[in-house]
Structure formats: C-alpha cells, structure tokens
Amino acid sequence: MVPPRSSLRLDDRDIAILAILSREGRIAKTELAARVNLSPTPCWDRMKRLEQAGLIRGYRAQVDLAALGAHVQVFVTVELDSHRAESFQVFERVIARMQAVTGCWAIGGGYDYLIQVVATDVAAFQALMDGLLESRAGVRRYFSYIVTKPVKDLPPATALLD
C-alpha cells in the first residue's frame, strides 16, 4: 500500500471504508457501518475524519457514456516543443480549459503528457486536436489511440486499498 499524504494513521476499518466508498460512493451510511463492523455514528465520524484529512476528495456518479449516445474515447500522448517550466504551465492552462479533455497526466518516458478525451465522434476529436495544435500550447507532436472497447475501469483507490 502507498503511504497516505497526510499524517493520519489508518487502521483496517479506515482502509475498508475507503475501499468500499471508492466502489460504492452512494452506499447508505448504515450499510457501510455494518460492512466495516461499526455502529453508524463512529463510522460517520471516521468518514468525516477521512474527508477532512483530504483522503476523500468527493463523490461522483459513474456515467455510462454509451447510454447517453454516440461518442469516442481517445487517449493521446503529447510531446511539447520545449521543456522549459513555462511551456509546461502554458500547456496545462490550455488543457484545463478544454471540456472534452477528461483527464491529463504529466508522464515520464518518451512523452510529456497523456490526455484522455471524450468527444461525440472522430471529427469532433480531430477538431479539438486541430485547435490544440493551432493554439500556443507548444505541442510538437501527438499520437492518438482510440478506445475500441473498455476492458477494465476501476477507481484507482480500489487497487491501492484491496
């Protein structure tokens, strides 16, 4: 297990609470308490402590994009023209404003960033990338990888906590 960022000491029940919430964010408090073998009030207190420590950043729904309509999901590796700190900051500011970009990670290795894009179709994705290239984001080149089918999609905390 990766050590937490905070100085908060986690016991087995805290880990169990985090693992369950990462998979089932809408679980009833009483059900969560029963599953970690606590009464509701102490379980709620632990949840609040984990939230205050920054270990729980929020709760969200996992939306079935296919049920909403046609879409394409694309992962893109990006290499920047320059590796000055200012270049990274400019790129990150541009990406932060792009609603179709649902994830962006600075990565080590041959590329500078990995971005995740969800667009209505390939033409919309290409328009987004054309706009990125025309902006002053400093992209030297990119490679795109269209998702053909999801194989596994778990919240990251699940793998760290189980």
> How far is residue 29's CA from residue 35's CA, in Å, rounded to a whole number?
10
In a 10 Å sphere around its CB, with 0-12 CB exposed, 13-18 middle and 19+ buried, how is residue 2 labelled? exposed
Can you tell me whether residue 116 is helix, strand or coil? strand
Q: Dihedral of CA 160/158/104/25: which sign?
A: negative
Contacts of 51 (CB under 8 A, 6+ apart): none
Written as tens digits, the pLDDT of the chain (162 aa) is: 444 455 678 898 999 999 899 888 889 999 999 999 999 999 999 999 999 999 998 888 888 888 888 999 999 999 999 999 999 999 999 999 999 999 999 999 899 999 999 999 999 999 999 999 999 899 999 999 999 998 988 776 656 665
